[in-house]
Structure 1
């Protein structure tokens, strides 16, 4: 699926460039300038199939580039178009926040560009806005009703942290430097600039709609300190930067008499040489501070592959001999000797076993939940100690030092979630979770869903989003009880 979405996104971007620059005439020689630059970078494809949002991002950016390119072509041909015609195109342009929250920057840019392209149309703007933003608003209502939050839980989990632009700048350089992206992007930027010098205002609007939010997104990522996986959050804005020139006309490089235009031809040669070198040889250096994948500076995925897996994992069996499999192995060996109630506490990488009442079933509390959830299935309850999928941990204070993994559920809070009073700290957690706003948050996010719950969750969502839970369970009792 990831490969199909990524290839589709690249194809759509190329078709969008054909429409944008009017390259559809038969007999034209088309050169995949931006497409080559994108495809040459290994991380572009690593995150197409990594299970993250990269492939969906490629597909959406490609679709948006296609929509804008087609509309520019229609306006260039003199076709009468209305701002609210092309309703599904408006839905595409308005769906950025559904792919990833910060892609709302792209959505705003796309919709503004759409409005500018139709600057003579006075009517139907509200209709166009409804089509563009309607699905996002509808999903926002669903999010508030189902998850009882105004923003994704992952956004709360990743909020804040001891990071700033200096760390984010390192994250950006770790992506740009090893692949010499300044060479490829520099060549592409000059070629795009030459195109824009003779472009129409509509073409410039469409290009700006892709390039400006890409740069803003990169700036935002730098400002928050980046991520703990090298390049993961940068590949989609990188693709957006290249989309307007994913295809260029051969006449940009050769004049009518067949002679070379030396500047663009030279840049094209540099681009081909750079792409060949990047695709075959250039790779990020190994950069790990220790064995703990949460201590690795922005390349935890590569560390996990090289140090514990050996080869990029393609099946669940590839994880069998890694630390990721420890909790599920412990569960498999210990469960037969119980009546079904067991907690495997992963702290951090080895299993501690706690017997539970049979009705509580098997539970794993772990810092890594992807492979565990796949193997365990729906009969094993997984508690995410790193907060991304846990409604309590995401409201705790920042204690981590890794971008993207800032909060952690302590043993006391894990016990509290399960009603285990193993010591004074866990007893305090049990009590705090039965009090006030904290009890409401837990009920809203874990209770049975029905129409009444859905409506009450919508009302509670703003308050739930702003709850702050002390890490110390005794302080939590004072705060909520």
Structure 2
């Protein structure tokens, strides 16, 4: 790499970093899903373990490393967790943009000076700037991809310029992929095969660098949580196919921005520049392109997401890696100029959302601009999005939340419930339900609240309050329910209110009329059935060596396949059904499904 080429790569990387910081800072915010991550962090800092609710071992976050990084920096700095998450995400995004651009400049070093291209395409997209913060792991994921690319470039360098340990570092980095986001294991796994194919004699060293960290955590996950994957994969049924929705999600992103134009231009330029190239240099470009396209197929298959553009950001960033910076030629300069024009139009044009249609009920929520959705949902101006947990108290669903939590705690209530009070003006109110008079193991369950929006409730409640969602991110029972084929992607499971009440110490004979007491008692009895009681034991029974190894076995059997029926009647026998019809509550007895909970308070 010549001196001029190295200097141009550094300049391109600096430009990429500056624009990544400017774009992310200008659009900084906190999402409800980001608050979900912070609830686990609060429990970690309070000594309750990597759980969403104290006493229930549920891995409610997709990225393992992200929650532990926030925990570490939160502990070191003592800063507000929202600020820690925002700064880490932004710094990682900036670093990813700079590292990826410089690595591509190094890749083209023999050709001559380089100019930014692919990074301009990426940063012009509104979702790319929105998810530079948000509290989610997108910045960390981008940084993993950027360093992966830089390590590939170093590994593909001529032998005289290649660091002796380049392959081992690349193997170690690939091993971390699964802990950043599960789908990044595709990139890490294919790269591992590439390393073994080129250096079969170093197989032992490559495997020793790649496997110990992810293997150790995988064993921990299986024994602690009773699952092979994060719980989010179970809740979202990530193994199912939703191709039609996936293509709708694809066109919602690619079609509006005319994204195919700059991407195809960049791909054509890279293809032309690679003519005559072979060996490792061509191999790493093929690996990057192949992994990115398979990642695209995966997102199409699972039906995409409900957040506009979010799931396309990682495969797009990866696909653009060889074009992040391109050699300065007449053709390259012409394409770069056209891309800059496209980028300016895209930034100004943004993404149109007909919010009035959503607010009036004329249109159901589907794929939305998540940042603007939450900004309007909590009653703020579009220029002032939510950034802290208390900002979400402006939501119509949170109007008396803090008061209800306080009153419920004072009354030692079993459950908090949300009620629709008025249509004009639209008013929702939280109220509490009393506990059963008879003391059972269910008496050990803390006061419980259910809401689909898990982040804003959990981060505005003490850790002693058990906060669950109706779609299964933190609720094993809901996660095992069948998907609603007409439901919103990512929110297409719904735990019936009868099941919700059953899995608490709520006095079932005092339920409101819209909840069937008969069905709730059937559900409570169903919780004691062998299938469901063992499911609950994997997360609730106090940890021991016996429980750990039982969970490992469960993760390989029912943990992979168990799906529940929404009808609790299928889990109980005729005698139990007759007892319920007589007004009894047989679900108060049977195999233990709840244990005492001691929750550290933390912040």
Q: What TM-score, normalized by structure 1, do the two folds share?
A: 0.87
Are 1:442 and 2:536 an aligned pair? yes
Distance 1:321 1:293 in 2: 23
| Contact 1:19-1:73 at 8 Å conserved across structures | no
Task: Give the structure 2 partner of residue 193 of structure 1.
Answer: 271
Are 1:131 and 2:209 an aligned pair? yes
Q: CA deviation at 1:266?
A: 2.2
Q: CA deviation at 1:40?
A: 1.4
| Contact 2:224-2:548 at 8 Å conserved across structures | yes
Compared CA separation, residues 377 and 86, structure 1 to 2 (3 A) = farther
Q: CA deviation at 1:61?
A: 0.4
Select the residue among 29, 45, 57 that pairs with 2:113: 29
Distance 2:244 2:94 in 1: 34
Task: Give the structure 1 partner of residue 451 of structure 2.
Answer: 366
Compared CA separation, residues 20 and 300, structure 1 to 2 (3 A) = closer
Task: Give the structure 1 partner of residue 477 of structure 2.
Answer: 392
Task: Give the structure 2 partner of residue 228 of structure 1.
Answer: 306
Select the residue among 343, 348, 356 that pairs with 2:415: 343
| Worse-superposed segment, 143-152 or 444-453 | 444-453
Compared CA separation, residues 207 and 162, structure 1 to 2 (3 A) = closer
Distance 1:163 1:437 in 2: 26
| Worse-superposed segment, 269-278 or 415-424 | 415-424
The aligned runs of 1:290-369 (5 Å cut-off) are 290-291=358-359, 295-299=364-368, 301=370, 302-310=372-380, 311=382, 312-326=385-399, 328-329=401-402, 331-332=404-405, 334-335=407-408, 338-346=410-418, 350-356=429-435, 360-369=445-454
* Aligned CA-pair RMSD: 2.9
Q: CA deviation at 1:445?
A: 0.8
The aligned runs of 1:215-254 (5 Å cut-off) are 215-250=293-328, 253=329
Q: How many residues align?
A: 461
Distance 1:78 1:452 in 2: 52
Distance 1:59 1:293 in 2: 40
| Contact 2:378-2:393 at 8 Å conserved across structures | no
| Worse-superposed segment, 96-105 or 211-220 | 96-105
Task: Give the structure 1 partner of residue 496 of structure 2.
Answer: 410
Q: What TM-score, normalized by structure 2, do the two folds share?
A: 0.71
Task: Give the structure 2 partner of residue 13 of structure 1.
Answer: 100
Q: CA deviation at 1:352?
A: 4.2
Are 1:58 and 2:126 an aligned pair? no
Distance 2:450 2:217 in 1: 30
Compared CA separation, residues 436 and 231, structure 1 to 2 (3 A) = same
| Worse-superposed segment, 163-172 or 318-327 | 318-327
Are 1:270 and 2:338 an aligned pair? yes
| Worse-superposed segment, 357-366 or 288-297 | 288-297
| Contact 2:481-2:566 at 8 Å conserved across structures | yes
| Worse-superposed segment, 64-73 or 312-321 | 312-321
| Contact 1:431-1:477 at 8 Å conserved across structures | yes
Are 1:90 and 2:168 an aligned pair? no
Q: CA deviation at 1:228?
A: 0.9
Compared CA separation, residues 284 and 240, structure 1 to 2 (3 A) = farther
Q: CA deviation at 1:287?
A: 7.2
Secondary structure at 1:346 match in 2: strand
| Ranges in structure 2 where 5+ consecutive residues have no aligned partner | 1-87, 421-427, 437-442, 510-516, 577-589, 591-603
| Ranges in structure 1 where 5+ consecutive residues have no aligned partner | 254-260
Task: Give the structure 2 partner of residue 474 of structure 1.
Answer: 569
Distance 1:293 1:404 in 2: 22
| Contact 1:340-1:359 at 8 Å conserved across structures | no
Compared CA separation, residues 435 and 408, structure 1 to 2 (3 A) = same
Q: What does the per-residue CA deviation read over 1:40-59, in whole Å, with 9 as the maximum and x for residues that have no partner?
A: 11211211211222112101
| Contact 2:404-2:431 at 8 Å conserved across structures | no
Compared CA separation, residues 324 and 107, structure 1 to 2 (3 A) = farther
Q: CA deviation at 1:360?
A: 4.3
Distance 1:388 1:283 in 2: 28
Compared CA separation, residues 441 and 330, structure 1 to 2 (3 A) = same
Q: CA deviation at 1:326?
A: 4.1
Q: CA deviation at 1:37?
A: 1.4
Secondary structure at 1:178 match in 2: helix
Secondary structure at 1:197 match in 2: coil
Distance 2:400 2:224 in 1: 30
Compared CA separation, residues 163 and 78, structure 1 to 2 (3 A) = closer
Q: CA deviation at 1:465?
A: 2.7
